[in-house]
Structure formats: structure tokens, C-alpha cells
Chains A and B, each alone.
Chain A
């Protein structure tokens, strides 16, 4: 029962917060924080209970629950949690709390409806990470879009309607293609076995001809590549990230992008081992192109949020490279990259929000010399910029290093080119830190430094990045067994060699 309650607490919390805001805005905010914290502590409980068992136990899922829903099509509300989903859920709730806290003063209009949407997005994301029935997975996949659409469309910046609509249309079209692939898979399973089911483990056993498998995989892949986003399908991202309010950007960059990578690891690799091996060089190339393209474009941006958005494209390129490199190290690197990117990019968006709240601009050229008026905030900004460019000791470095290490085994030239992305990353990271915080203060900004609440948010995020950067072992240990399970079907020969 603990898994459905994760979703239900957020849904209930959203409604309660929406109603409470009519009386008191502060109560609404506290309800939101409390419900996300409740989920965080529950996940922490699961983590503590299963941290040691994950190696020895043979059971695939830590916790699972299973109810019949639409029996005629074998659709069940089947939720299950393993190391991978647990790690991502912890990230979800951590960033969820940060998102609520970071909009504490920024957001003053329609507070109730805002928190309602924010919590419902989190509920949708929770469902995506938990569902092991493909129909339910698709349901949550779509469901997280609608509140996100409202978050961008109502509380966003200047071009919010355009950005929100573009975001929705991109994800909806690709999602529908995935739905057809899911249905086709279930129908094929029905035709070969006579059983209608959308269950993860049963559909995995479906016998597919290579051609069908390739087509179905493309259906899944399109949805995940759009969400990730991979290079030619990324155009919704800079707009959506830039126009969204701070909390929206944090959730988008920190969590929504991760659902794409999660889908690839959870569904594409184990369902279609043959085609994913065939397509791996292409996908890795797309990943590398994304790394370079995102980094180069980030160098040229003048809008701080847009800059961070393009760095996301670049970082997600590493994730794609790692997922399709075809070995355990790269896959683990991809997951670490997902988590640390969630934190560091989330922090950068929060930082951009803090700057915009104080300065009412996101233009980097309007900043400069902020260190003399806001030393603490600028220091934090420097840390997160360094993490984003992959400084050793901070989270992103571990992810990128492992990905490159693994990818080197699979494809040396691509890895070498991908490394160039780190060079460009240094360029945009340093340029941002230099132009915004260092140097003279030409605009004579006199701004208040960080308040205790902001200290808490950014401080915690910094601590997490340091932890992952210095001692990533707990994370790796948590996700290892589920990654091995994903990999096992993907490339049996790799497992033998290791």
C-alpha cells in the first residue's frame, strides 16, 4: 500500500493546498512542503530497509502492489519499486521540496492553484517511475503534462503560451506514438499467447520478429528522445525552460527530462535488446552531437535561463551516450549523471530565479560584479557553475567520467569527440561565472544577499552534489542491481565478460 500512497499523498496534498490557499497562503505552502516531505521520508525508509538487501536478494522489486483495473484488457494498477526508481524518486522529492521552497516569495499570484499543479506534476512523475504496467505508465506519462502545461502557461514569463503549447504538442505527439507501440506490443502478445496484458514482465517475453521489434522500439524511442531531449527533437526545451517559473524549470530540468532517460533504461533496453544493439552507434552519435551542440549553443546565450537550458541538452547527451554504450559502467554513469544533473541544473535555475527576483532580468550582460554586493549568492553560483562544467569532486564529474569510461570501450572516436564537449562546458561555465559575478560592478547593483531559506535550499543542494562527487558509492549500489537486470537482456555477452 505504500506505493499508491506515494501518489495519493501528492494528489491529496495538491487539493488540500489549493483549498487552503483561499484562507492562508502560508498554510498552503506548508501543506505542499509537508506532503512532499512525507513522501521523501517514506522513500528514505524504503531505501534504508533495502540498502543492504539489494545485492543478496533475488526478488526484482523492493516493494510492489498490484490491483486489477480494466480486466478485459489485462490492465492492472501494478506499481513496483527497485533501486533505479527509488533513486529517482528520492531525487524527485528532494527537488520537489526545493521547488516549493524556492518559489516561497517569488510566487504571489494564485498560490493555491500553483501548488496544486506542482504537486500533481510530482504525482505524475512518481507514477511514471513506479508503473510496471505499460498502460498505467502511459497514463502517468500523459498526466504529468497537463499540470506542467498550466505551470508554464499561467506563471511563466513573457512568451509563456507559445512555450507551453510547444512543449505540450511535442510531448503529446511523441507520446501517442509510444501509445501505439504499447498497444501494438500488447496486441502481438495477445495474438501469440491469447492473453491480453500490459504487464511489464510478461510483455518483455513477447516474441518479436526483428523488423517488428525495430518498429516498436522506434515508437518508444521517439517519446523518450523528445523528453530527454536528444538533438534534433530538443527545440521545445529552451523555450519551455526559459519561460517557466523557477519551480517549473526545476521540475522540468530536474525531473521531467529524467523520465525520458528512465524510460530508455527501463523499457527500451530490456524490451528490444537486439534493435538497441543495432541502433547503438546511431544513438551514441546523436548523444555526442547533442553534447557538442548544447554546449556550443550555451556558450552563445545571453539569457541566463536559456544558457542553463542548453547545458541541459548537452548533459542529456552524456546520458544518451551512456545508456547506449552497452556496458554497465556507462549505464551507471548515465544514472549518476541524471541525478547530479537534476540537482546542479535545478540549483542553477533556482539561482536564476533568485537573481531575477532581485534584478528583474535574466540577461547576463546586465549582471557583473555581483560578488561585491552578494558574496554568498555568487559563491553558490560559482559552485553550481563548476559542477555543471564537470569539476572533479562535484556530482556531474562522476557521471561524465563513468560515461566516458564506458563509452571508450564501445567506441573510441565518439568518446574522444564527446570529451570536446567538456571543453565547451568549461567555456560556458567560466564565462557565466566571470561575467555575472566577477569583475567590476558597472550597473552599481546593491542587492540583498541570501536569506536563511535560500541558504538552506542551495546549501542542501551543494551538500548533495559534494556527496555524490566524493562518495557516489551508495547511489551506485542502489541502482546497480536494477541496471544489471536491464542490461542482462540487452547484452548477455557483456555480462559474461564482466
Chain B
């Protein structure tokens, strides 16, 4: 390995080093502020190294990693998301009795895992990244040990994620047995194979098993059953982390290796993915309708949003990958903002999860309610928000490739989705009935780091919704060489 190889790997090296330093720092002396500072500095340094190393791209480092502008863009998105999770987590953890320092350590490790997923080009690095992410998440989900619901969610995730990892591993083994190669590009060829040619049974089975593992991480139907429980049980910053970094890393891998830029998707995998996309969009939105817990609503809505992402992925063509990337970026900004508002409204002993805890929020904290409304409208895809342009790009990508079934499912299901987003909005704007029924949470002071993060995220949602041109150009340039 040359110096340039190390330079290209710097972002990964820096985040893992930050984790090690933090571990040592905790061993010497526990200090919440120092832990948060070390992790944020680590993330910032990793971001800076991304900028510094961008001149030597693209570069393949060993057979494991492919570092190009695509993976750098995704790593930047993941790092930003992790930073926002830290900002929200700081005050959340401060007012709880748990020891907060290890939270940062675990998040750093999990972020490294997600970044490895974004850069991997080989089965080995794929699996390593996945496990690094999952193992850290087991602990993170059960982080607040005083809550039994949190521990239950952790165990649930542990069992399911472990078994899905083994299914994935088996699938990889089958593919290796058939082809004798551990390169991920085999997925791309399998996806674009012409319909006439018979696929080898082993390869197809392997591919399906891999899709099971990937689908579990993304929480798409029928691998979604863990989502609502884990979203509900995990501490809010961790939920935000699962919704963004964990899914984002896996989606980066899926988009890179399952997406076909030129030529049509064909064969069994495309059919399976289409069915999964349709089922995810419909099931996610329908199941969310009757929920009264905002965390569960957002869990089901995330299933639907992953379905929308799959539409862009399946559309392929010149617009498919950029549209999916834009949608994912928009979704991550939005959902971080939504969970951010929820975190800010959570007290030391409870979380603002029930829909009732938002009753007449607008009349007590108009700005916070306006931010939450912006996020919900962006999730629903109303113009001038990031979510709308994301949806517009996905629709355009689908229409260019004439994927009408997927598009009409998207339209129908996002109308269903609008209903439950509006339910939350309605509650927020309801008239306060009595002065003494004001929810306690609305009197909490607003912590500074979280407030800054919320301002930034709301600004980003509006910016991405009003001025998409520069980000879109970047994304198009970055995704040009895929598949």
C-alpha cells in the first residue's frame, strides 16, 4: 500500500482512531463534555480528510475498498448525520442517569461500519462493515438500561440482526461457490442479465439471501417487522441514528451494486425488488395510519420511504441513481430534524413519543412546532421542502423509464401517508383546551446544541427544497460512472 492509499483511507482511519482515543480517554477519566468534543472533532477531522483526499480519486485500495467520489459523497452524508445525532444526544444523555460516554464510542464505531459499507467492493469488507455497524447498534438500542422497553428492543434487534447476518453470509457463500469470486460487481451483472438466459440456481438463491440481509437493514417489507418495536424502544438519538446512518450506509452499497445505469433491469431479482418496493410503500403507509405513537408512525413511514428509494433504484437509467441519492439525502435531513424536535421535547424521565405530547405545541412554542411541521410536510412531499424535490426526481426517473406501476403505487401510497402526517400536524395546531392541561414538555428550556442543529436542519430542508441545483449537479457527476 502506498502513501496515497493511506491518504484515501484517511476518513475511515480517523473515525476509528477517534473511537480508540475516546476509549482511552474514558479509561483515564469520565467526562461527558470531553467525550462529546473528542467525537465531534473526530467527525470534523474525517470530513476534512474527505476534502483533502478528494484529489486522488478514484482509487482502489487492496481488493477490499473502492474509494471514489460516490463513496466520498456518501461518507460525507453519513458523517454529517452522525454529527447531528451527537448534537441531539448531548442534552438527552445529560439529563439521564446513564453513563453517557460510551454512547459516543458506539456511535463512532457504528458510523465507521456504515462508511465501510459505502466503500466496500468485496464480500469480506461488506460483511465486516455490516457487523461493525450491527454489533454497535445492539448496545446502542439497549443503552438506557433503566427502561425495560429499551432492553426488549435491543434483544429483539440482536436476535433478528444476527440471524439476518447469517442468512446474508450463507448467500455470499453460495455466490462464491458458484462463481469463485468475492467481488460485489457480480450483483450488477446478475441484475442486468438478459431475460432469455437462464440464471444459475445457486447464484439466484445466493442473491435472494443477500437481498434478505440487505432488506433487513433497510427495513423493507417483508423484513420490516423489527422496525416499529426497535424505533419505539431505542433512545431517541439512537432511533435517529438507525433511521439515517445505518440505513444510509446500507443503501449506499445497494445503490452502487444493484443499480443498472445503462440497459434495463431484468430477471428475477428485478421482479423481486419491484414486489418488495410496492409492498413496502403500501404496507408502510397503511400500517402507520392507526398508530398513536409518533416513533412508531415514523418507523412505518420509514418503511414506505425505503420503498420510494427502491423505485428510483429500479428505474435505473441516467436519472435513477441521482434521484435515489437526492431522495436519501433529503430524507436523512428531514428525519434527523423530526427526531431532533422529538428529542428536544423529551424530559429526563420520558420521551415525547405519544402523539398527545404534541397537543397545541404551536401555541406554546411556535418556532419548534413550525420546524416540526416543516419536517412532516417534507416527509409528506409538499413543495418548497426537500422531500418534494426528492419525490419529483424519483417520479421523473420512473417516468423516463416508464415504470408506471411503481409510480402509481408511489402516488397512491404517499396520499395515504399524507393522512398520518396531517394527524400529527392537526394535534400540534389544536387549540389548547385548558391552561392547566399544557403538556409539561412544552415548558422545558431548549438546549443550545440541539437548537443550533434544528436551525441548521430546517434551513437545509428548505434549501434543498428551493435551491437543489448545486447538490443535484454534484450527485449527477458522482453517480455517472456507476453500474
Residues in A lying within 8 Å of B, measured CB to CB: 69-73, 109-110, 135, 138-139, 142-143, 145-146, 149-150, 153-154, 161, 164-165, 168-169, 172-173, 176-177, 179-180, 183-184, 186-187, 190
Contacts and interface: CB of A to CB of B under 8 A. Distances in A.
Given A72-B476, A154-B431, 11 more contacts: A70-B468, A71-B469, A146-B377, A149-B422, A161-B426, A168-B418, A169-B415, A179-B395, A180-B408, A183-B396, A190-B400
A177 B382 contact: no
Given A146-B377, A149-B422, A180-B399, A173 B468 contact: no
A154 B373 CA distance: 15
A135 B415 CA distance: 19
Nearest to A146: B382
A23 B407 CA distance: 49
B399 A150 contact: no
Contacts of A143: 382-384
Contact of B392 (A146, A150, A183): A183
Nearest to A177: B411
Nearest to B418: A172
B429 A153 contact: yes
Nearest to A186: B396
Nearest to A160: B426
A172 B388 CA distance: 13
A149 B473 CA distance: 35
A165 B473 contact: no
A176 B414 contact: yes
B396 A142 contact: no
A109 B360 CA distance: 14
B463 interface: no
A94 B412 CA distance: 37
Contact of A180 (B383, B411, B429, B473): B411
A283 B472 CA distance: 41
Interface string B377-417: 10000111000100010011001100000011001101100
Contacts of B468: 70
15 contacts: A69-B469, A70-B469, A70-B472, A135-B392, A139-B383, A142-B382, A146-B382, A153-B429, A154-B431, A164-B426, A165-B419, A180-B407, A183-B392, A183-B396, A190-B400
A183 B429 contact: no
A184 B473 contact: no
Contacts of A149: 422
Most buried by B among A161, A164, A165, A176: A176
A153 B426 contact: yes
Nearest to A155: B431
Contacts of B419: 165, 169
A177 B411 CA distance: 7
Nearest to A72: B472
Given A70-B469, A72-B472, A150-B429, A187 B396 contact: yes
Contacts, number: 67
A154 B418 contact: no
A237 to B, nearest CB: 18
B392 A179 contact: yes
A173 B417 CA distance: 11
Nearest to B465: A139
Contacts of B392: 135, 179, 183
Given A179-B392, A184-B399, A72 B412 contact: no
Q: Which 4 A-B pairs have the closest CB atoms?
A: A173-B415, A176-B411, A139-B383, A142-B383
B395 A183 contact: yes
B199 to A, nearest CB: 31
A177 B399 CA distance: 12
Contacts of B412: 173
B400 A187 contact: yes
Contacts of A165: 419, 422, 426
Given A146-B377, A154-B429, A168-B418, A173 B382 contact: no
Contacts of A161: 426
A143 B388 CA distance: 11
Contacts of A190: 400
A271 B377 CA distance: 31
Interface string B450-471: 0000000000000000001100
Contacts of B469: 69-72
Interface in B121-151: none
A73 B400 CA distance: 13
Contacts of B426: 153, 161, 164-165
A149 B383 CA distance: 15
B381 to A, nearest CB: 8
Contacts of A109: 431
Contacts of A70: 468-469, 472
Nearest to B373: A146
Nearest to A170: B415
Contacts of A168: 418, 422
Nearest to B411: A176
A73 B418 contact: no
B399 A187 contact: yes
Contacts of B382: 142-143, 145-146
Given A150-B429, A183-B395, A183-B396, A172 B384 contact: no
B164 to A, nearest CB: 34
A147 B69 CA distance: 41
A186 B472 CA distance: 18
Most buried by A among B363, B399, B426, B469: B399
A138 B383 contact: yes
Contacts of A169: 415, 418-419
Nearest to A184: B399
B316 to A, nearest CB: 14
Nearest to A142: B383
B281 to A, nearest CB: 13
Interface string B410-446: 0110110011001000100101000000000000000
A134 to B, nearest CB: 12
B396 A176 contact: no
Contacts of A172: 415, 418
B206 to A, nearest CB: 36
Nearest to A136: B383
B197 to A, nearest CB: 29
B384 A139 contact: yes
Nearest to A196: B396
A164 to B, nearest CB: 8
Interface in B343-401: 363, 377, 382-384, 388, 392, 395-396, 399-400
Most buried by A among B392, B419, B429: B392
Nearest to A190: B400
Contacts of B418: 168-169, 172
A14 to B, nearest CB: 13
Interface in B172-220: none
Nearest to A109: B431
Contacts of B377: 146
Most buried by A among B377, B395, B419, B431: B395
B435 to A, nearest CB: 15
A173 B411 contact: yes
Contacts of A173: 411-412, 415
A180 B394 CA distance: 11
B396 A73 contact: yes
Contacts of B407: 180
A154 B422 CA distance: 13
A254 B323 CA distance: 39
A321 to B, nearest CB: 29
A168 B408 CA distance: 19
